[in-house]
Chains A and B, each alone.
Chain A
Amino acid sequence: MAGGIKMPGEEKKQQKQEFWRWTESNWKNPDLDWNDAKIVTAGIDVGSVSSQAVIVTDGRIFAYSNMRTGSDSPESARNALNYALKGTGLPEDRIDYCIGTGYGRVNVPMADRSITEIACHARGAHFLYGPEVRTVLDVGGQDCKAIHCDGKGKVTDFLMNDKCAAGTGRGMEVFADLLSVPIIEVGDRSFDIEKEPEPVSSTCVVYAKTEATGLLRSGWKVNEVLAAYCSAMAERIYSLIERIGVEERFAITGGMAKNKGVIDRLMKIMNIEPMKTEWDTQIAGAAGAALFANTLVAKGKGRK
């Protein structure tokens, strides 16, 4: 584990593989030059597991970064912003307005204001997926949100479950580690099975881990256990969406959108086709925050 206690001689043996680890990334829009921009805004989403920074110039995404959240929220926000700005030549003091969002939003030192992740995710999904989106499902690191929005990306109904982390990103990371399957392979491997198994009876990460260990001992293959867990997570997520209902069209944001083991099974239960995007689904919250900042500055409300 990162920063974990090193046992003597561990380095000599084998490097412990971190199966949960996903790739951090940053991106710069090659078509935009910040020198031409009238308004430059930033959105920083400090989540429980990942942090993103998105830079928006005149309402278009100029650059973004996606990193793991550390133990320190202000530092995670700082790292995400630095990583997004890296190589763009954009000086930080050129940013007109910065909005913090996510679980650690009150702890973003460079933010001029904070806005809830509910509002930001709706706004971000509206941008990433287009104005036809009416239902946004965000499966984050430790929570799950279902949001309805109108044609302008304004929230009309929402539900968030952040008390219980069952069926969320971190649960999947724990599982990947337990089964020694790299997190990016979980989706494909969960379909590499002969017959779809029954879902595990509990999505509670603690009990599911116990159950999975039991299944492995009784001779189940790793891929089958993965399938059973993905399937249980899909059912769990569905039970949350069911409470507010689904209005077409449907979009998924957050890290879990990249795990087809869960999402394909969820779509099968819901019997609908999700919207597609070229953007990184994890940046929705930060993109929404940066776009809100852009609107505030354009309206003249965002001057420091």
Chain B
Amino acid sequence: MKANYGYKDGSGDYFITIDTDKCNGCRECVSACPYGVMGVGPDENDPFSDDEVAFVTEQERKKIKYTCGPCKPMKNRPPLPCVAACGPGAISHSW
């Protein structure tokens, strides 16, 4: 499942996409993110699955434009810690 967490508002689209088929629940992204955006737990959108997958935490879903801001400078942007930490390549950002 491709889970898109985030929102669209007047200023643009801000979505973090997690491909739960690729995610192995290793929690590397949770420790890599300096701001606690990522979490790992049971897949709440697939009630019959017992696998743990990554998601964007409930409290951050509506403000990732700001929380993720420090990792996204205008110039010389380094690889995003969450994306770089993800071995299976399950995380992507829309902006």
Chain A residues packing against B (C-beta within 8 Å): 115-116, 118-119, 148, 154-164, 202, 204, 239-240, 243-244, 292, 295-296
Contact = CB atoms under 8 A, between A and B. Distances in A.
Interface in B11-65: 13, 15, 44-48, 61-62
Contact of A164 (B9, B15, B61, B94): B9
State the main secondary structure of chain A at its contact with B.
Answer: mixed
A157 B7 contact: no
Given A163-B9, A164-B8, A164-B9, A157 B46 contact: no
B15 A159 contact: yes
3 closest A-B pairs (Cβ-Cβ)? A163-B7, A159-B4, A157-B2
A148 B8 CA distance: 19
A292 B49 CA distance: 13
> How many residues of B sit at the interface, in one of the four size bands?
10 to 19
8 contacts: A115-B44, A118-B45, A163-B7, A164-B9, A243-B8, A244-B2, A244-B4, A292-B47
Interface of B: 1-4, 7-10, 13, 15, 44-48, 61-62, 94
B8 A161 contact: yes
A116 B41 CA distance: 14
Interface centre among B1, B4, B7, B9 (most CB of A within 10 A): B1
B54 to A, nearest CB: 15
A240 B3 CA distance: 14
Contacts of A119: 44-47
B47 A158 contact: no
B62 A163 contact: yes
Given A157-B4, A161-B7, A164-B10, 16 more contacts: A116-B45, A118-B45, A119-B45, A119-B47, A148-B2, A154-B46, A155-B46, A157-B3, A158-B2, A158-B3, A163-B61, A164-B9, A204-B10, A239-B8, A292-B47, A296-B47
A158 B1 contact: yes
Contacts of B1: 154-158
B42 to A, nearest CB: 11
A295 to B, nearest CB: 8
A295 B2 CA distance: 24
A249 B16 CA distance: 26
A154 B61 CA distance: 23
A81 B7 CA distance: 32
Nearest to A204: B10
A32 B6 CA distance: 42
B95 to A, nearest CB: 12
Given A116-B44, A155-B46, A158-B45, A243 B7 contact: no
